[in-house]
Amino acid sequence: MWRLPVKSITRFPVSSTLIHPHPLIGIQAIRRISLDDSNDAKKSSESGKGDNNAGKGDNDNNSGKCKNSTNGSDNGRNLSKKDNASESLSEAEAKLHRDLENFSPDQSSRVSNPGGALPGVDPKLMKYMNHPKTAYDPSENRQETNYEFHAPPSWKQKKREEAKRRARGKSPLRKLIPSILAGCAFLWAFHTYRYLTKDKDENKDKDGSLLKPSKFLPYVISFKYKIDDDHYLIEVTRKNRIQKLIKNQHLFSGNHIWSVEIAKRDINIVRNLTPLPLFVAGADPETKKPHLRLVSKAEQEGKFIFIVKRYPDGEFSKWFTGLNLLDEVDIRGPIEEYRFSPHPLDRYPSRPQLSNTIEKTEPDPIYPEHLPKAENFVYYGAGTGILPLLQVLYSPNPPKGFVQAYISLHKQSNLLQELRTLNFFAEKCGRAKFHYLIGGNGEHISEKDIMKPSLPHFNSARDLKVSAELYRYKLLQEKKKEVREQMESDSNADKRHSKSTDKKDRNYSNIDVLPPLSSNPSKEDIPDLDISKIKPENAFQQFSFFGKKDKSNQSPSLALVCGPDGYIEFVSGKPDLNNVEGKDNGPIGGLLKKKGWNDTNVKRFTGL
């Protein structure tokens, strides 16, 4: 925008006589104006000076004085007047004089004769009136007029004005539109920056999971130990494990058996292995034997161990057992091999996980007795075929039933001592019974090791009714027994009361006056121990002292068979996987069939 200021100043003298109330002075002023109109600037300034003097005289003199001063100024003017102007002026003066002569004011009126009848001036005002008079300077008394020329608005200004006009009176949301657009632009810029600067390395591990069934994820070999000539313990750890733990993924649960696939990329082969929920907490400095701990907390996830058998001509097992520490392997899973059937007790707290020390394994929760009991199963495994059983026994939420395990090994040393110890703990907690059959010692599985099958405790909703009925019947029997015992003890008491013996004085309720024990205490001398009020501190106490031992006698309703093909065939018949789904359709045969097992209660794991 531009503007062109053009300033013009008009000046004209303003005399105080212009506003003087006296008619004569007013006339004088009129005369002066007419003089200014007709004379040049110089004359005007001269006459102005004269007026000024005349003005001074006005304040303290009467009208006559004024008149003199007027005459004085007239004289000065006459000197410089041109002839034609002087004529018109004299005419005007003559007219004025005529008017003055004719002027006869009413002398009685104060208005017409103010000087004569003016009241005395207030002495307070006098000091203001005597104030020194300043000379009149017309240059100070000026009025200014500005003339500003506004340039026509440019197209940008017009656009802005139009935008402002349109924005005015719009809804608050519409007013926010510019801010929203600015925000969007910022986000877009931010994401573009992230996209442009992000790592484009395809091989970089960007997945946050510990394991994924659909994708091979990198793991590193974090520990390796040779158990014997052809068995190795290998611990693997998820690469960048700590970052992956944020997802809080729990891999292990005893309600299913699962494996992982490990890829050997250069020759494109994939093999399954069975992870165990264990990690290496340390190693013996001399023997290098690992100290194993169970994976039980979230922060211990992302590590597990494999027990691998090395076959002399086995491509995968040779490569895998030949890997060094910190070598990378690609693992995918979990691949579910078997899931235990659902059971009503699944809704109740799970059985506590086995602990690294026997006294730390928590006791089992007390499950309602009117519900069907947990299922028991028998496990027939050979070599690495023991691993699926160990996986479920060591995991959190282990099976609630009892397991009879028949494990065939070439040598005792095939199974790491630490695993044997954990199996022993499982036995002492009433969860399993291991029967090791060492081939080197001439022990082989035979018909005598095969248990008879029983019906499962829970098949359908009907079993819930049956077990509730059974529970009622059991309670009834217990009540009957209690009443019978009470009646018997009452009749005995009567008999004792009739006999006059010193036993009469015995008072067991008063603990301070306990009777002296005789050398041969009778049954009545031992007070009853109320076992229901004592709580077991761990699973071992619960199993050993609190009447849970009878569990081991319960027969299994499920048989799991796992091992090399020959072993599986001998125990349970030949599997038939020759179908699209890879389902085992082979009939049950071998030892199991002889004892009454069938395809409804047998599960075979092949390829181990």
Ligand X SMILES: Cc1cc2nc3c(=O)[nH]c(=O)nc-3n(C[C@H](O)[C@H](O)[C@H](O)COP(=O)(O)OP(=O)(O)OC[C@H]3O[C@@H](n4cnc5c(N)ncnc54)[C@H](O)[C@@H]3O)c2cc1C
Beta carbon nearer to ligand X, 539 or 561 = 561
Helices 83-102 and 63-80 sit at what angle, rounded to 10 degrees? Answer: 160
The correct pick among 73, 255, 317, 395 for binding ligand X (CB under 6 A) is 317
In 3D space, the residue among 206, 277, 199 whose CA is nearest the CA of residue 239 turns out to be: 206
Tell me if 52 sits within 8 A of 60, measured CB to CB. no
Give the Cα separation of 93 and 32 in Å (integer): 12
320-359 footprint of ligand X as x/- string (CB under 6 A): -----------------x----------------------
The correct pick among 39, 73, 384, 601 for binding ligand X (CB under 6 A) is 384
Beta carbon nearer to ligand X, 12 or 311 = 311
307 is in an annotated binding site: yes
Beta carbon nearer to ligand X, 315 or 482 = 315
Tell me if 384 sits within 8 A of 409, measured CB to CB. no
What is residue 449's DSSP assignment?
G
Please, how many CA atoms are within 13 Å of residue 153, restricted to the half-sphere of its CB? 8
The correct pick among 26, 138, 218, 314 for binding ligand X (CB under 6 A) is 314
- Residue 593 burial by Cβ neighbours in a 10 Å radius (0-12, 13-18, 19+): middle
317 is in an annotated binding site: yes
Give the Cα separation of 407 and 409 in Å (integer): 6
The correct pick among 211, 233, 273, 450 for binding ligand X (CB under 6 A) is 273
Beta carbon nearer to ligand X, 405 or 608 = 608
5-44 footprint of ligand X as x/- string (CB under 6 A): ----------------------------------------
- Nearest approach in angstroms of CB 232 to ligand X is 8
Is 271 near ligand X (CB under 6 A)? yes
Is 263 near ligand X (CB under 6 A)? no
Is 439 near ligand X (CB under 6 A)? no
The correct pick among 87, 162, 299, 315 for binding ligand X (CB under 6 A) is 315
- Nearest approach in angstroms of CB 259 to ligand X is 4
Beta carbon nearer to ligand X, 457 or 604 = 604
To the nearest 10°, report the CA torsion of 178, 181, 186, 189: -140
Residues 6+ apart with CB under 8 A from 518: 525
In the chain, what is the straight-line distance between the N-terminal and C-terminal CA atoms, in Å?
Answer: 91
Helix and strand tally (H, E) in the chain?
16, 15
- Nearest approach in angstroms of CB 318 to ligand X is 6
In 3D space, the residue among 290, 309, 118, 320 whose CA is nearest the CA of residue 229 turns out to be: 309
The correct pick among 137, 313, 490, 528 for binding ligand X (CB under 6 A) is 313
- Nearest approach in angstroms of CB 317 to ligand X is 3
The correct pick among 47, 259, 467, 542 for binding ligand X (CB under 6 A) is 259
531 is in an annotated binding site: no
Beta carbon nearer to ligand X, 255 or 259 = 259
Is 304 near ligand X (CB under 6 A)? no
561-580 footprint of ligand X as x/- string (CB under 6 A): ---x----------------
Is 449 near ligand X (CB under 6 A)? no
Beta carbon nearer to ligand X, 437 or 464 = 437
Determine if residue 303 is left, alpha or beta; phi over 0 gives left, psi from -120 to 50 gives alpha, anything else beta.
beta
What is residue 191's DSSP assignment?
H
| Residue 560 φ then ψ, to 5° | -110, 135
- Nearest approach in angstroms of CB 275 to ligand X is 8
Tell me if 256 sits within 8 A of 340, measured CB to CB. yes
Give the strand order in the sheet containing 403-409.
Answer: 432-438, 403-409, 377-382, 558-562, 602-605
Question: Binding site for FAD: which residues?
Answer: 307, 309, 317
Residues in touch with ligand X (CB under 6 A): 259, 271-274, 306-309, 311, 313-317, 337, 384, 387, 564, 607-608
User: Binding site, residues?
Assistant: 307, 309, 317
